[in-house]
Amino acid sequence: MAETIVMKFGGTSVAAPEDIKRAARRIVDARELGKQVVAVLSARGKTTDDLVAQAFEISERPLAREMDMLLSTGERISCALCAMAIHDMGHNAISLTGSQAGIVTDSSHTRARIIEVRGDRIREGLGADRIVLVAGFQGVSGDSRDVTTLGRGGSDTTAIAIAAALGADLCEIYTDVAGVFSADPRIVPGARKLPHLSFDEMLEMSSSGAGVLQLRAVEYARNHAIRIHCRSSFDDHPGTLVLAEDETMERPMVTAVTHAYEARVTLTGLRDEPGVAGRVFGALADANVNVDMIIQNEPVSVDQKADLSFTVASEDLGAATDVLAPLEVGEAIETDPRVGKVSIVGAGMRSHPGVAARVFSTLGENQINIEMISTSPIKISCVIAAGQVPDAVRVIHEAFDLGAEAVREEDPSGEHRPRVTS
């Protein structure tokens, strides 16, 4: 049987009419190489943002179910138009909504999770020698049969889930950047395009602000061993491969610096007794609020109260304070709607001591105060003032020699980076 390939095109790759035609050409090229092609498309350009804005022009609190009906239209437009372009190129294509493609989800509107990909109509289409286009970012609730969406950036997850269901072992993600970089090139112009990354590194990067791939997509890819090739839709250069750690040839100590902006909540005067943290985070979980960093210290003396700080996505701040206020577990809730977070990620950190010390002293030497710290075996994150984020990214990138220049000096091919030791 012919090899099946899943190609996903992001919003900027289908924005203007010529972009849609360019995507169609790439899809047709793959078909002409004898592959069975499924393409997952995002909404064109800023369409999803515009649709969100339209909803808020009508209502202060748009119903989540109707929000999904509205937002899911963007991806359908892209697919129908791309199918037309493919027909004009002499090939047979069919576009499907997420629901028609059999993407079955739970019923949490605007952030649904995929439960199952039935994919009968995708297979039928491929069997009939057609190119199949699937609207990204959406599915249908198995319980309510309502249309759902998968959260911003969800087309990535659609593509990976379809690749898994079809038994494809590679998913190509076409975007407006050349791949995954050692830092945001808008902040660090000398950032390096990473030839490959492990799933774990990519997971940490997606969760700490690298905007290239939706976190859930990476989780899904890791769980189903789907390699991801993240690359530009505007040229033919290879991008970044995300794959299992044992397939990556090298284990640099630090791979990349990422950054993000979040909101912080501090609960002061908490009673120091069992069950308090459980109630706080239980309430947040029930409200579907994802908590990122959490810091709590044991009060220094008996009878003293504890303070607890955590960060959440800025858009979840309102929901977080809404559910915490009635709990009455402490004296006050303080919020900071915008804090910065800078993180360094690298699988080699596991076996290299001294990385944290170097990050902290680099920030210190540059007069950047660290407000919160959290770590995983392969990531160190620091919350700092939002305004200092660009500087922090630059100095850390420099301190660990992550740039393209550092690599070129030792290896003109740029493919192998030096092992930086502490």
List of residues contacting ligand ASP (CB under 6 A): 10-11, 42-43, 48, 74, 136-137, 152-156
Rounded to a whole number of angstroms, the minimum distance from the CB of residue 218 to ligand ASP is 13
Phi and psi, residue 268, nearest 5°? -105, 155
Rounded to a whole number of angstroms, the minimum distance from the CB of residue 10 to Mg ion is 4
Nearer to ligand ASP, 154 or 239 (CB): 154
Output DSSP code: residue 180.
-
Joined together, the tokens standing for residue 61 give 């609190």
Rounded to a whole number of angstroms, the minimum distance from the CB of residue 393 to ligand ASP is 24
Helix (H, G, I), strand (E, B) or coil at 325: helix
The separation between the first and the last C-alpha atoms of the chain, rounded to the nearest angstrom, is 50
Rounded to a whole number of angstroms, the minimum distance from the CB of residue 75 to ligand ASP is 6
Nearer to ligand ASP, 162 or 329 (CB): 162
Nearer to ligand ASP, 83 or 380 (CB): 83
Q: Which does 123 bind (CB under 5 to 8 A by kind): ligand ASP, Mg ion, none?
A: none
d(CA 116, CA 164): 10
d(CA 377, CA 221): 20
Beta bridge mates, 152: none
d(CA 156, CA 139): 13
d(CA 226, CA 31): 20
For residues 78 and 27, the answer to whether their CB atoms sit within 8 Å is no
Rounded to a whole number of angstroms, the minimum distance from the CB of residue 202 to ligand ASP is 16
Rounded to a whole number of angstroms, the minimum distance from the CB of residue 291 to Mg ion is 24
Nearer to ligand ASP, 5 or 14 (CB): 14
Nearer to ligand ASP, 11 or 125 (CB): 11
Nearer to ligand ASP, 136 or 239 (CB): 136
User: Percentages helix, strand, coil for the chain, rounded to the nearest 5?
Assistant: 40, 25, 35
- Between CA 157 and CA 153, with CA 221 as vertex, the angle to 5 degrees is 25
Q: Which does 152 bind (CB under 5 to 8 A by kind): ligand ASP, Mg ion, none?
A: ligand ASP
125 lies in the binding site for Mg ion (CB under 5 A): no
Rounded to a whole number of angstroms, the minimum distance from the CB of residue 43 to ligand ASP is 4
Helix (H, G, I), strand (E, B) or coil at 310: strand
Rounded to a whole number of angstroms, the minimum distance from the CB of residue 82 to ligand ASP is 14
Residues from 144 through 203 that contact Mg ion (CB under 5 A): 153
10 lies in the binding site for Mg ion (CB under 5 A): yes
Report the 10 Å Cβ neighbour count for 286.
Answer: 9
Burial class (CB in 10 A: 0-12, 13-18, 19+), 339: buried
Nearer to Mg ion, 10 or 179 (CB): 10
| The residue to which tokens 């969406």 are assigned | 149
Fill in the amino acid letter for 9.
Answer: F
- Buried residues in 33-69 as b, exposed as e (16+ CB within 10 A): eebbbbbbbbbbbebbeebbeebeeeeeebebbebbe
Nearer to Mg ion, 158 or 248 (CB): 158
Interface residue list for Mg ion (CB under 5 A): 10, 153
